[in-house]
Amino acid sequence: MNVGKNEPRRDGPAKLTGRALYLDDLDIPGCWHGATVRSSVPHGKIKSITYDPAFAWDECIVVTAKDIPGKNVVALIEPDQPLLADAIVRHREEAIVLIAHADRALAYEAAKRVKIEYEPLPPVFDMEQSDKTFKSYLISCGDLEAGFAAADVIVSGEYRTPSQEHAYIENNAVAAYEEDGVLTVTGSLQCPYYVLKAMTQIFNRDENAIRVIQTVTGGGFGGKEEYPSMLAGHAALLALKAGRPVKIVYDRHEDMAVTTKRHPAIIRHRTGLTKDGKLLAQDIEVIMDGGAYATLSGVVLSRGTLHATGVYECPNVRVRSKVVMTHTPPNGAFRGFGAPQTLFAVELHWERISDALRIDSLTLRRRNILKLGSTTATGQHLLQSVGAKECLQKAVKNSQYVSKRKAYDRWNKNLKNPTWKGIGLSVCHHGAGFTGSGEAYLASRAGIALTKAGELVILAASTEIGQGTNTMFAQVASDALGVPASWFHIETPDTHKVPDSGPTVASRTCMIVGGLVSRATHELKRAFENEYGRVPKTPADLKKAAAALCAGAPARRFEAQYENPPDVTWDDATYRGDAYGVYSYAAIVVDLEIDKLTCAVRVNKVTTAQDIGKAINPLLAEGQIIGGSTQGLGWALLEEPIFKDGVMINSQLTNYVIPTSLDAPPFEVILVEKPYSRGPFGAKGLGELPMDIPGPAVAAAVKHATGRLIATLPQTPERINSSLK
């Protein structure tokens, strides 16, 4: 068995030694450099575009919306976002003019020599003042009024979460060129087939005349889910007009100022409970700030809405949610995809309820937590793989949560101590894969090829973005066929070579696409058994078997396509049914200390237990959990995007502070494995789960330490200090 072993990461050595070639490392002969002229107002009419006559414009290529051969749109869900603004701008930094020059510095210089005049229009920056709703949802079950009428207490609270920058190590970067009539884009991206779809509309070409190839990608976290479609369109427009390759590589400032971020959110809870803490009614309102265009906001809101009740059973529920337009760059996918926002609210709300009922929040959670046989607010019956209680139990026990809570209460009573100490916990679920009928609609395909030379090549559009996709695929295929993992190559995600296995998002790559790879490999196994008499045992045997199976053809290809299990049903119109095939679960305990003088927070220990079904590669799983939790701690304690006039003004890593390895506290990670019958070897989703709950656990620990509930993030020293006044 290879699954369950710590197979070394396939992409590790090249990245560690610097041999990995990222987009900007590629030497593309004759390649020019692209630069972008952007809107300097958040909302306005474009009155004129003029070009400084002192600049040598004949040395460069200039592109505006008029050069777009097809539709001026970045196709995703709603066709509302233009590739280049034409007539109207709806956010600061919106792209208007593109320039390509042989010299990168001169491309940027040219961009400065373009003058755009605007007739300003009034902008809206406050999501509560917006009059345009992109999408809204309603989840309703039971009888809300009866629930509140029967309640002994009703507790209300409002919670706010900020934006967040992905801060992947590699900025957005794409190159484009035309080769034999095929418009090719290559770059740092999560979803090759999303880019392909967008390109067909911009260039009015069919899919065969466009090719999208992923290069080694330095992180994504959702930030390369949608934006690369925009960048690919820009680079390709320039390349076609220039008649030569063009690359666009953002620097950090541009990347942070113009690309998508996490949706800021406001969440309001009104909760009815019995006096011993049983949930009777949850009335929840969610508002998210979508920015200027719809992009993925509707689906981010959907996931946020579906996770808003938390990991609890409640008979009477109403969740009303909306995502609205404001005049800032569009917000988009970010690890957790709306769930960290709503989970922050529901989890921290337990601390308010705890104060109201004088029952500790751990007991309250235990009393209401989802278990095998529970029904969710959408009417989903949880019939297998429910590890919520076990995660909570293990995180509480290993962190010594209960005894430390008492010990810290005593410590905090002693006024002479230089610090306050606090310990807080949080627990959650995270739906794996696309929401509702999403996976059925995607109908993803993945495969394996056996070449006549005896190579085994895994075929999927799922991208390695640092999370371990390629290693995981090889391990799954290895056990499906019963040969060493080292026998498998992973094909580069290239739309001319691999089937559409869907986007690399939504914690779906292992559970959904890993399952397809496993099924396709079983097809190959059957072919070996039927046509060769056995699965080959040695590399030499594999060569012989390949010659027999391929029978002169260059390769044999085996594919599997996603099939929706008949008992998983979902109704988009009523938001009733199985919102996800299965959920992963996690609990976290954050143990911290606050300096009384400076209010600086030091996290002393994080203990987290996560039910991911099956760890295909435990070390990689642990890495995902520590990385995701640290990203969550950054959101909770350090990261504060500051917007002024609709643009992020601290768009640099010098003043937008993210945690480094030096800020990472000691972690204890406990893997809980409640197998899911439909995941490969029992595996469920893992990528986003660890990002979901550090926020509320930090806020609960700060409250334990200081006695103040701060219902917003980040909990910076400044914010903690002002809460004490």
Q: Which residues bind ligand MOS (CB under 6 A)?
A: 190, 222, 225, 333-335, 337, 505-506
Label residue 7 exposed, middle or buried (CB < 10 Å: 0-12, 13-18, 19+): buried
Token digits of residue 714: 């980040």
How many CB atoms are closer than 10 A to CB 577?
16
**In DSSP terms, which residues pair with 231 in a beta bridge?**
none
Give the nearest distance from C-beta 573 to ligand MOS in angstroms.
Answer: 24
* Nearest to ligand MOS of 107, 683 (CB atom): 683
Bridge-based pairing state of the strands 667-672 and 601-611 = parallel
3-state secondary structure of 320: strand
* Nearest to ligand MOS of 177, 194 (CB atom): 194
Give the nearest distance from C-beta 124 to ligand MOS in angstroms.
Answer: 26
Separation CA 257–CA 624 (nearest Å)? 27
Cα–Cα distances (Å) from 343 to 14, 30, 429, 555, in that order, read: 37, 50, 9, 48
* Nearest to ligand MOS of 222, 682 (CB atom): 222
Length of the chain in residues, anyone?
A: 725
* Nearest to ligand MOS of 295, 706 (CB atom): 295
**In DSSP terms, which residues pair with 139 in a beta bridge?**
319
DSSP letter at 417?
-
Hunting for tokens 């884009």 — which residue is that? Answer: 185
Give the nearest distance from C-beta 720 to ligand MOS in angstroms.
Answer: 29
Q: Which amino acid, residue 54? A: A
Separation CA 10–CA 168 (nearest Å)? 20
Separation CA 583–CA 580 (nearest Å)? 7
Give the nearest distance from C-beta 341 to ligand MOS in angstroms.
Answer: 12
- Nearest of 293, 134, 135, 177 to residue 226 by alpha carbon: 293
**Contact by Cβ (8 Å): 150, 280:** yes
* Nearest to ligand MOS of 110, 513 (CB atom): 513
User: 240 CB contacts (<8 Å, ≥6 apart)?
Assistant: 69, 176, 178, 183, 203
Separation CA 690–CA 695 (nearest Å)? 11
Give the nearest distance from C-beta 694 to ligand MOS in angstroms.
Answer: 16
Give the nearest distance from C-beta 345 to ligand MOS in angstroms.
Answer: 19
Give the nearest distance from C-beta 37 to ligand MOS in angstroms.
Answer: 29
Give the nearest distance from C-beta 508 to ligand MOS in angstroms.
Answer: 8
Hunting for tokens 């990528």 — which residue is that? Answer: 687
Cα–Cα distances (Å) from 570 to 143, 308, 436, 438, in that order, read: 21, 18, 5, 10
Label residue 429 exposed, middle or buried (CB < 10 Å: 0-12, 13-18, 19+): buried
Give the nearest distance from C-beta 378 to ligand MOS in angstroms.
Answer: 20
Compute the half-sphere exposure of residue 488: CA atoms within 13 Å on the CB side of its CA. Answer: 30
Give the nearest distance from C-beta 529 to ligand MOS in angstroms.
Answer: 38
Separation CA 636–CA 344 (nearest Å)? 10
Compute the half-sphere exposure of residue 25: CA atoms within 13 Å on the CB side of its CA. Answer: 12
* Nearest to ligand MOS of 302, 518 (CB atom): 302
* Nearest to ligand MOS of 123, 336 (CB atom): 336
* Nearest to ligand MOS of 221, 681 (CB atom): 221
User: 259 CB contacts (<8 Å, ≥6 apart)?
Assistant: 166, 172, 223, 227, 250, 329
3-state secondary structure of 18: coil
Give the nearest distance from C-beta 503 to ligand MOS in angstroms.
Answer: 7
**Contact by Cβ (8 Å): 68, 289:** no
Give the nearest distance from C-beta 337 to ligand MOS in angstroms.
Answer: 4
* Nearest to ligand MOS of 222, 436 (CB atom): 222
Give the nearest distance from C-beta 431 to ligand MOS in angstroms.
Answer: 11
Longest dimension (CA), the chain: 83
* Nearest to ligand MOS of 167, 423 (CB atom): 167
What is the crossing angle of helices 694-706 and 401-413, to 10°? 40
**Contact by Cβ (8 Å): 450, 528:** no
* Nearest to ligand MOS of 422, 433 (CB atom): 433
Give the nearest distance from C-beta 631 to ligand MOS in angstroms.
Answer: 11
Token digits of residue 206: 């069919």
* Nearest to ligand MOS of 46, 506 (CB atom): 506
Residue nearest to ligand MOS (CB): 222
Separation CA 594–CA 601 (nearest Å)? 5
Give the nearest distance from C-beta 346 to ligand MOS in angstroms.
Answer: 20
Give the nearest distance from C-beta 334 to ligand MOS in angstroms.
Answer: 5
* Nearest to ligand MOS of 502, 679 (CB atom): 502
* Nearest to ligand MOS of 431, 646 (CB atom): 431
Give the nearest distance from C-beta 464 to ligand MOS in angstroms.
Answer: 14
* Nearest to ligand MOS of 168, 643 (CB atom): 168
Label residue 567 exposed, middle or buried (CB < 10 Å: 0-12, 13-18, 19+): exposed
**In DSSP terms, which residues pair with 89 in a beta bridge?**
44
Separation CA 403–CA 589 (nearest Å)? 13
* Nearest to ligand MOS of 82, 502 (CB atom): 502
* Nearest to ligand MOS of 246, 633 (CB atom): 633
* Nearest to ligand MOS of 337, 401 (CB atom): 337
**In DSSP terms, which residues pair with 447 in a beta bridge?**
459, 559
- Nearest of 529, 518, 530, 531 to residue 558 by alpha carbon: 518
Q: Quick one: CA dihedral 460, 464, 465, 466, positive or negative?
A: positive
Separation CA 541–CA 454 (nearest Å)? 9
Give the nearest distance from C-beta 174 to ligand MOS in angstroms.
Answer: 17
